[in-house]
Structure 1
Amino acid sequence: MAEISSLSAAQAADNPAGTPLAQIAASLAARSGFDAAAKLRLMAAGRQVGWLPHSHAAILRGMGAVLGPDERLADGTAAVELLPGRHDFDTRCAALQALARRLADAGHVRGWRDELFAVTPALDAPAVAVVERAAARFLGLLTFASHMNGIVDGEIDGGPALWISRRSPAKAVDPGMWDNLVAGGMPHGSDPLATLVRECEEESGIPAELAQGVQPHGVIEVLRDLPEGVQWEQVHVYDLLLPPGFTPHNQDGEVSEHRRVGVPALLAIMSAGAMTVDATMVTLDALGRRGWLDVGHRV
């Protein structure tokens, strides 16, 4: 897996406090804390599938959910087995789905999606189970997503431009925040490209034949604490050059606005912390790769 840095040390050093890139770096840092000491490595079939907060482990044990005993590891962290002794895929799935419903009924998870995420140590590894998407961050599961930078074929205000989207205020996660033109979680049984092509149509009205022309640009790994648990996500990054005159149109109600913005306006949005963490990282990657973080394109 190729891992992409959202903002290199050299870029940060070249941008003193008060500049947009320094403000973006500060915003990302403020929203990206992770305390491994407050977590258990969640294990299944001998491999790590998540980072379970100690507080959430206590909730699960209080509900009678099956967790093994804590085990101290050589690196100073602790691990716990999920559903020990249950080796059958269907049995694990049934237990986790019942658990997710109990967590939702108790108010511990929100935004029920009727969408299943894999419980797995890696994208290319067989899933040991599936679980309702809404419970993934409570359990700190490793999840997967596809994000796409919508590159404008042409200029705005004398420079390059991108299409971005604003998340619906009804979204359970990051409501009303700016996002990449297309972004979506990867359900069990899908893959990065198939997920992206589907989301292109649903979120921005981009037909499949156009979406198939995306360019892959590696993976960003996000690991951070959230009020609802942990976001541990591998984000597959794509760019798509959109034809002149193309205007996105949302189809599924999950996007409230699309906006075509030049680089200075985009940097201002990110420096204000108005874009999601993962979308900010994906956007910065595109700007850096394309040489659009030059002094002439900064505000």
Structure 2
Amino acid sequence: MAGQRSDAEQATQNLTAAVGVEQRLAVSHGPFPCIRAARRFDASRHVVFDIAGIRVGWIRRSDLARLDVWRHVFDIDDARVALRAEFDTVDARTRVLGEVIGALAAEGCIPGWRDETYAIRNHFDDAPLAYIERAASRFFGTQTFAVHLNGVVFGRAGTSEGDVIGVSDVIGAGDALRSAGGQLSDAARETTRMWIARRSLQKATDPGMLDNLVGGGIGWGYGIEETLIKECWEESGIPDSLARRAVRGGTIHVLQEIEEGTQAEQLFIFDLDVGADFEPQNQDGEVADHRLAAIDDVLQWIQQGRMTVDASLAALDWMSRHGALGEVARAELAALSNAPV
């Protein structure tokens, strides 16, 4: 009869739906290389960096020879590099570390100079022990802090590879996620989109890789929310009034060996429903373009390593909190909320 499916057609539809579910489950369960990378650190390959008897960082054993000429600044042995006790004030430590860092940068050992000041502190609210150039934080493996924002749109269509801004069609804002108590229903997952940025090819780190809508390091003198609002405008043209609606998500600790040294970083993650009419506009030249992507496409990009480690973790944090990750992946991600020993 017209308008009715045959048994064969219905079976085909059921099989197609089942295959879609299997593919989605496979994507949601991982594996996600960024989770492994966030703890890719071998302490035996490093020595402790110590200030005033406090471990504040990690220095690669392979870099110790570069510090030999600075033995009037550091006490160096097989287990640690310690700033000498005579440098017992913040100003004195900052001055002498600045001399060392300037020389190391001139030798090419500290790339990507930023002219930004970072404080050496193990926790965000700790009093600084010294101040250093941002680029040197990886060489010395000192603790850094960053904000990342997941820009989400509920009920907007997109293509399988993500739409470059201005291409997709709005199909209504919808409240499917909110009415489901924060968990993505199948219908909500099909229409929920996440804005993804692509980093400029001129970026000092991870050029050309995919990134969150907003992400940036927290320099000395800036608060967490203050940095978020600043980065929202600079990276995506999000006005202050919209940025202030961001909701705090999870916190993730990264400790990984990278080319420049050691990344020891705490990520403060935020979510923002930017609305169906929002289109990001980069202001500082650090973003090549933006794309509006389906949740499953973002998960695949994370699996494929196309997104930076930090951005991948921030996006997975959103996925985990909204029911888009498998149980094992959720547990592995949750472990990263604890600072490494």
Same fold (TM over 0.5): yes
Alpha-carbon shift at residue 28 of structure 1 (Å): 4.1
CA distance in 1, matches of 2:34, 2:147: 22
Structure 1, unaligned runs of 5 or more: 1-14, 72-77
Cα pair distance change 1:27/1:289, threshold 3 Å: closer
Structure 1 pair 186–27 and aligned structure 2 pair: CA distance change class (3 A): closer
- 1:95, CA displacement in angstroms? 1.4
**CA distance in structure 1 between the aligned counterparts of 2:250 and 2:37, rounded to whole angstroms:** 25
Q: How does 1:175-214 map to 2 (within 5 A)?
A: 175-214=207-246
Amino acid aligned to 2:155: G
- Residue 92 of structure 1 is matched in structure 2 by 93
Is 2:63 the counterpart of 1:62? no
8 Å contact from structure 2 (residues 33, 305) kept in 1:
no
- SS of aligned partner of 1:37: helix
Q: Distance in 2 between matches of 1:49 and 1:224?
A: 15
Q: TM-score, normalised by structure 2?
A: 0.75
CA deviations 1:180-225 (Å, max 9, x no partner) are 1100001011121111110000000001121111111231000000
Q: What are structure 2's unaligned runs of at least 5 residues?
A: 1-21, 159-189, 328-341
CA contact (8 A) 1:66 1:84 kept: no
Give percent identity, aligned residues only. Answer: 40
Tell me, yes or no, if the aligned pair for 1:24 and 1:273 is still in contact at 8 Å. no
Give the SS at the match of 2:98: helix
The match for 2:272 is 240
How far apart are residue 289 of structure 1 and its match? 0.5
| AA at the equivalent of 2:75 | G
Q: Tell me by how many angstroms 1:65 deviates.
A: 6.3
**Is the CA contact 2:151–2:272 (under 8 Å) kept in the aligned structure 1?**
yes
The structure with more strand, counted as a fraction of residues: 1
* Amino acid across the alignment from 1:253: G
TM-score, length of structure 1 as denominator length: 0.85
What residue number does 2:48 align with? 41
Superposed, which structure 2 residues align to 1:66-85 within 5 Å? Answer: 66-70=73-77, 78-85=79-86
- Could you tell me which amino acid in structure 2 is paired with residue 130 of structure 1? Y
Which structure has the highest helix share of the two? 2
Q: Which residue of 2 aligns with 1:276?
A: 308
- Correspondence 1:174 to 2:195: no
1:101 corresponding residue in structure 2: 102
CA contact (8 A) 1:40 1:80 kept: yes
* Cα deviation, residue 66, structure 1: 1.8
Residue 116 of structure 1: aligned partner: 117
